[in-house]
Structure 1
């Protein structure tokens, strides 16, 4: 049975291994200072929330990060599920679904109107799950640098 618990300082090594797998999946590299900062904020629960899924033997097999923010379309907050990762050798066993359910429970307890997230268009495995637990909004994601003088497109 999968158990899910909030990230604590004691989870650092397990979280780091899962985080590295997540970044590898998305072909991203972050400076060590960013990784250190993310974990510090998750472990102190200062507005960035996180949880780790563990199997029956206590091995860390998944992670999820989320945050609550105000909305201009609601009198309550929204919950953005920012990162979700399940170890490749445990995918298909319900861990991702359980992590999403955990975030939904946390969002409901905080009074958030909805939970939403993004994924790559070609992430077929994850989208198979997402299509079963949520609805696609049809929106297309754009981004640009916030730094003046930097090109709008990279």
Structure 2
């Protein structure tokens, strides 16, 4: 196992852009997806924004090299007074999987949610993402909800 004392979680910085793009591209590729350059640019701008209603990004670094990311946002919820936190994207470089990066990122999102007064954190994954679900089952609680989308 990798020495996790060498792994740090910190907010995204402007100078992280090429590393962030590579990591997010890896995430999108994992899900057989892609986005336009305009989406990359707009998303990065939003992630660096200072609006609490905007997106947030945490970067995992190992020996100062970015090796993972977590995108999340806070939003209102009709069943709560407090905002809730949606962990939209979580990705660890394939070479770092199984070495604690995903857990550290999720725990950092939990801490950010607590600091923002948003006690509920939730996320989605594909049912066949067994590697990630091994971690998620240890640090989260699966629900029986099924996601629906508007037809294209």
Q: TM-score, with normalisation over the residues of structure 2?
A: 0.92
Q: Distance in 1 between matches of 2:110 and 2:85?
A: 8
Q: Distance in 2 between matches of 1:77 and 1:63?
A: 22
Larger Rg: 1
Q: How does 1:65-84 map to 2 (within 5 A)?
A: 65-84=71-90
What are the ranges of 5 or more consecutive residues in structure 1 without an aligned counterpart?
145-152
What are the ranges of 5 or more consecutive residues in structure 2 without an aligned counterpart?
1-5
Q: Distance in 2 between matches of 1:115 and 1:44?
A: 21
Q: Distance in 1 between matches of 2:34 and 2:56?
A: 22
- Runs (4+) off by over 3 Å: none
Q: Equivalent of 1:52, from 56, 59, 67?
A: 59
Q: Distance in 1 between matches of 2:143 and 2:131?
A: 18
Q: Equivalent of 1:16, from 11, 17, 21?
A: 21
Q: How does 1:3-152 map to 2 (within 5 A)?
A: 3-46=8-51, 47-56=54-63, 58-144=64-150
Q: Distance in 2 between matches of 1:40 and 1:126?
A: 28
CA contact (8 A) 1:8 1:44 kept: no
Q: Distance in 1 between matches of 2:135 and 2:144?
A: 17
* CA shift digits 1:29-71 (9 cap, x unpaired): 1111011100111122432100110002x11110001000011
Q: Distance in 2 between matches of 1:76 and 1:26?
A: 31
User: SS state of the match for residue 131, structure 1?
Assistant: helix
Asked which structure has the greater RCO (Cα within 8 Å, sep 6+), the reply is 2
Q: Distance in 1 between matches of 2:113 and 2:147?
A: 23
